[in-house]
Structure 1
């Protein structure tokens, strides 16, 4: 990309990929793991997508990654895919896809706090701390007694934090300049580790190829295709814009996931607990409101200076004060 700012059309399609495609993956995961064990399902689809992306990078002549690149890719791939995506996939055995997306919607909060603590970001403002509290209260509503499986909620929170850690490692580590190459490397590593993890957990004993449904296989293919498009887009966005802005996908995804979950349940594609309860609706409102406050735009110093200036002496005073 060089030093030139990214075009609006590239930004539009990249954000569309992580907003819409990722929103739909929650339901696809739920359908896929109906008849395919979770870690073998997630690992095999990521490894397949990663191999395709890596081969594409080789074909177009991208420079060969160095040992440092592979090390940094692995350091980010473990929290991103093994703990992040793997955690979501495992948790959806007990948590409806719409509710899972709501918990993962807390991602901007973890990006904010981690980027503040380790990435040199300015301290959170009051409105951001308020958003953090409101968003987490929504998660508390989901996991309160009589609600969603608390172990599943805990795993999903851990997955969201892990994804935030991996995202910031991607942003601040030395990696190949090609988002396609980086995504391919990390999906290869993450997918392989998840497959090994699934084998260690004995998932092969639950794997019956003859029993894999057409719906689960179609969902697996869709997830692999979504990874081919959305993950390079996400990796690229992290390098050209702020992590908090990229994290806004987290409050669009639940809307997509919840509506798809309702439709799938009504059509009989998944079990009926995908139809949201009143508790889920309240939690959704709190989480979405919290995330909106978290990504409330900061006023740029020069914009604030211009807005408050009415004559040259005031401009000078503002500049000196800041």
Structure 2
């Protein structure tokens, strides 16, 4: 029996989300590795330039035009916050904490997305969401305390990862409306370009550090640009255009677990028991914040949330 178009769209979106989660998890490990040779700003700029070149070639092959004017505000804001600010701050944070801890702290982003959605888009903010925020904040504090014996730099790393989560959340909220007006490839390409422009002040550092960096670090930087940026951000936008922000946020809950496994295999890094407890609290808070909505939907027999109005033809 042939798969119906809506079901096929759901499967494609789920597959795209899976690709995103796996590649974003690998990014935490690659950032940790490349960060030994590149400063945070230089690494972000190199990654974004590799991403822009990759996406530019794809746009030329597909003959993608410029995004409509109405999509530019969302593209610009998401580019500055998510592609620019987020990447620099995350790179800096991962110089202070291990990859698994960074992923655990950044993964409070879905709660922040819900908060910003309530403030900027008029989404409801039930008490359960506030409770979830409190639990996740307690988890972040626990992570910071668990690493306090290593000095203030570790606490700084947790704060930087929290700031990265804020940039990530702001970028997602800004990107969602833009996806209703432009294709996933357009939104990703020009968002990446906006982030690269913001990071241009680090160009001098990038040139100097690239001359002395080992080939493995430079290859990691290129990998970050081609796969976790060009490919993963495009598959993210593809899936986000076909589902809700909350469902997409839920898919990122698997990132910390994947990062812990990857960092153990590639870097020999495993967060301690108290760090893992703090990370579990972060994820538990996110789960608490989303559970009430699901329960109400089942209890009231509510219809599913409406699908985005975009058609498959307008996306990658």
Q: Does 1:51 align with 2:53?
A: yes
Change (3 A) 1:207 1:113: same
Q: Does 1:179 align with 2:184?
A: yes
Matches within 5 A, 1:107-126: 107-126=109-128
Query: Is 279-288 or 19-28 further displaced after alignment?
Result: 279-288
CA distance in 2, matches of 1:107, 1:265: 25
Matches within 5 A, 1:1-322: 7-126=9-128, 128-144=129-145, 145-146=148-149, 149-173=154-178, 176-194=181-199, 196-199=200-203, 203-204=205-206, 207-209=209-211, 211-226=212-227, 227-266=229-268, 274-296=269-291, 298-299=293-294, 303-306=298-301
Give deviations 1:242-290, integer Å, cap 9, x for gaps.
Answer: 2121112332111011111122233xxxxxxx33212212112212222
Give deviations 1:114-161, integer Å, cap 9, x for gaps.
Answer: 1111112122242x3322221111100111243671222112111111
Give deviations 1:138-190, integer Å, cap 9, x for gaps.
Answer: 10011124367122211211111111111111112477521011101111120
Is the Cα contact below 8 Å between 1:95 and 1:152 reproduced in 2? yes
Deviation at 1:208, TM superposition (A): 4.8
Is the Cα contact below 8 Å between 1:107 and 1:250 reproduced in 2? no
Deviation at 1:50, TM superposition (A): 2.0
Give deviations 1:16-54, integer Å, cap 9, x for gaps.
Answer: 122211111101111112112222222122222123223
CA distance in 1, matches of 2:176, 2:7: 17
CA distance in 1, matches of 2:140, 2:282: 7
CA distance in 2, matches of 1:205, 1:18: 30
Is the Cα contact below 8 Å between 2:110 and 2:249 reproduced in 1? yes
3-state SS of paired residue (1:207) = helix
CA distance in 2, matches of 1:158, 1:143: 14
Scaled by the length of structure 1, what TM-score is found?
0.82
Deviation at 1:68, TM superposition (A): 4.6
3-state SS of paired residue (2:241) = helix
CA distance in 1, matches of 2:293, 2:274: 32
Is the Cα contact below 8 Å between 1:82 and 1:193 reproduced in 2? yes
| CA RMSD of superposed structures (Å) | 2.6
Give deviations 1:216-241, integer Å, cap 9, x for gaps.
Answer: 12312321222221101112233222
Deviation at 1:67, TM superposition (A): 4.6
CA distance in 2, matches of 1:146, 1:129: 31
Give unpaired runs (5+ residues) of structure 1: 267-273, 308-322
Is the Cα contact below 8 Å between 2:102 and 2:161 reproduced in 1? yes
Give aligned pairs, total.
293
Is the Cα contact below 8 Å between 1:57 and 1:180 reproduced in 2? yes
3-state SS of paired residue (1:143) = helix
1:270 aligns with none
3-state SS of paired residue (1:10) = helix
